[in-house]
Structure 1
Amino acid sequence: MRASFFFLFILSLVMMVLAWDKEDYEIFDLVSAIETSEGKGTTFYSWLDVPSTATTSEIAKAYRKLSMQLHPDKNPGNKKIAERFARLGVVSAILRNAASRTRYDFFYKNGVPKWRGTGYYYSRFRPGLTFVLVFLIILSSSVQYFIQRFNYQRDLKRIEEVIREARSAAWGPKMIPVEGQRKVKVNLGGRQRYDEDGYPIGSKSIEMVVSGDAVYILEADGNMHPVDSSTVVSPRIGRTWFIALVLSMYHSALNKYGKADAQPVEESMDDGYDTSTTSSEHTGSGTATPQEGVIANKRKPTTKAGGQRRKAVRKR
């Protein structure tokens, strides 16, 4: 019911768009331009200061009067006056033509539609590169997510069919549960006929084990893997390509700079402690001298004086 209503709604919108021709769009443009320049709610008639029932001669007279006021020669330095003067000429031409005036009167009485098709809005808003990229990212990610949902529902249904086929092969047509484990073969191509031993006839099949309500896939090495809804990959926004790409870049940067920051810490820890060790810290007999500890770490010997650490000076 909802789908039918939505279809009829879209169809009515399409019919409305198809009913508007080029002249209608010109009237829409003119109405919007006049309201912008002359004030909200200004109509063709109110701009000319004539009633909607005015005759053609009355409209022509009102046009001549207003055109003298808006003529560019009488308004030097006004950059917008030329546009208003040209717009006034178009309004006069529409109202003095019977067919175009009838068309305008329809929108004058019923109102100009707010939604006028993609072409009308595109002429006023040309999307930039950033807008297009964001739109494509959202669109492609949404399509990918709905494909995930479709695949999830399909795989879930297939798992349920396989489980039902395995139980049917193990328990029989009446689906009476049998205690213990029973190995069966399940057809991967769907329902079909079985032989006297319960094996599917003439199709590719897999070996499975039914143990109570649980169903397992039996591999050649004897391992069994459970078959249930948890094996189906559920749809997630994080698995769409853009989110996955951002997360991958974030973790890569985190690992890269995390290791770079950790290296100086290790070096400072080496510099902050004496390299001498005791006999309990090295294997072998006796105690290790500071020089021996330094040689083992491939570092120059150091001495302490005055509470400060400094490098030893080699005697000449």
Structure 2
Amino acid sequence: MRWSSLCIMLSVLLALLTISAPSVRAWQQADFEIFDLVDELETSEGKDVNFYNWLNVAPSASSSEINRAYRKLSLKLHPDKNKKDVQAREKFARLGKVVAILRDSAKRERYDHFYKNGVPRWRGTGYYYSRFRPGLGTVIVFLVFISGGMQYIAGWINFYQEKKKIIGFVQDARTALTQNVPKSQGAPTLGRSYVEVGGRVLRCEVKSDEYIIIHTSNDEEPVHLNTAWIAKPSLTRNVYFVQWPISMFYKLTGQQPLEPKYEVEEEEGSPEASDQEGGKKSRKKAKRGKPVAVTGSKVGGRRRAIAKPQN
């Protein structure tokens, strides 16, 4: 939960800074105008068309040559002579913009730079933001998805941290197991040992590489820690904008969400496992609605109950 809240706050702050901060532009406004005209001309006339070959002049053409080419092409593209062409007005207006750039010595110098070196693919955040400025709704949707994604990632971080914590307890308990064992004997990996938790040395029992039982006191039930019982993050449980509509649906319809079934396997020798007549040991299985959560709290409802997922 701590990681999830921190990630959501960071994503919201990042988005607000991106929206409110002044755009850092790598290009001038005149460059943006050239970029737009280049894109429009290539889309309308073809990929290899540029300002000069569209006007049918050389890149070294003088102003008078450009004016003559403009008059000639304007007569050809005039909307009155192309009434059937729905894009005639756009082409005629584009021609005026292109010639205006070539008539201006400073703008023509900038265009010649891009003509020789190529128009850049990445044109800076200022260019794209000014042309695709998001509205309030788009910003809200963006923030929701970003915060949800960060929340999902935080869930996986917590999952691996809990798993690492349990494995660390097992390793510490096994280290304590080997302290009083003679060198001639092999080091035990399972059995009763001791582990330090929160500054307290507690009795424990190692069941497997990823399963340990810790006895907090004589009067309380032991804490069962098993990495197999840690719930993996999912979109329906850990992402709020997915979890909220689902919970509202079940609340309005009165239905209960489908939950995985688990088995409780009683240890041999427990009162529940003893047969009333013959005293023989047996195993009982009971279905449970929810998996056992391992977050440092007690796991399992009974002192000797061992919960295992059903295959």
1:163 aligns with 2:161: no
The Cα shift of 1:131 comes to 3.8
TM-score where L is the length of structure 2: 0.57
The one of 141, 144, 148 equivalent to 2:148 is 141
Equivalent residue, structure 2, for 1:31: 38
The 2-side partners of 1:246 and 1:162 are apart by 38
Could you give the per-residue CA deviations for residues 150-172 of structure 1, whole angstroms, max 9, x where no partner exists?
A: 12222222222222122222332
Residues 173 and 206, structure 2, Cα contact 8 Å, conserved in 1: no
1:223 aligns with 2:233: no
The 2-side partners of 1:80 and 1:60 are apart by 23
Residues matched between the structures, number: 224
The Cα shift of 1:97 comes to 4.1
Q: How does 1:9-20 map to 2 (within 5 A)?
A: 19-20=26-27
Equivalent residue, structure 1, for 2:283: none
The 1-side partners of 2:75 and 2:203 are apart by 94
The 2-side partners of 1:63 and 1:208 are apart by 93
- Structure 1 pair 157–179 and aligned structure 2 pair: CA distance change class (3 A): closer
The one-letter code sitting in structure 1 at the alignment partner of 2:247 is S
Aligned-residue identity in percent: 42
Residues 177 and 212, structure 1, Cα contact 8 Å, conserved in 2: no
Equivalent residue, structure 2, for 1:246: 245
- List gaps (5 residues or longer) in structure 2: 1-23, 256-311
Equivalent residue, structure 1, for 2:188: 177
Residues 202 and 214, structure 2, Cα contact 8 Å, conserved in 1: yes
Q: Which has the higher contact order (CA 8 A, sep 6+)?
A: 2
Bigger radius of gyration among the two: 1
Equivalent residue, structure 1, for 2:263: none
Q: How does 1:294-309 map to 2 (within 5 A)?
A: none
The Cα shift of 1:248 comes to 0.3
- List gaps (5 residues or longer) in structure 1: 1-16, 189-203, 257-316
The one-letter code sitting in structure 2 at the alignment partner of 1:176 is A
The one-letter code sitting in structure 1 at the alignment partner of 2:231 is V
The Cα shift of 1:142 comes to 0.9
Equivalent residue, structure 1, for 2:68: 61
The one-letter code sitting in structure 2 at the alignment partner of 1:153 is Y
Residues 207 and 213, structure 2, Cα contact 8 Å, conserved in 1: no
Looking at secondary structure, tell me which structure has more helix per residue: 1
- Structure 1 pair 212–81 and aligned structure 2 pair: CA distance change class (3 A): closer
Equivalent residue, structure 2, for 1:232: 230
Q: Residue 216 of structure 1: SS of its match in structure 2?
A: strand
The Cα shift of 1:80 comes to 8.0
- Structure 1 pair 185–161 and aligned structure 2 pair: CA distance change class (3 A): closer
TM-score where L is the length of structure 1: 0.56
Could you give the per-residue CA deviations for residues 232-286 of structure 1, whole angstroms, max 9, x where no partner exists?
A: 3322222211111121011112217xxxxxxxxxxxxxxxxxxxxxxxxxxxxxx
The 2-side partners of 1:31 and 1:179 are apart by 73
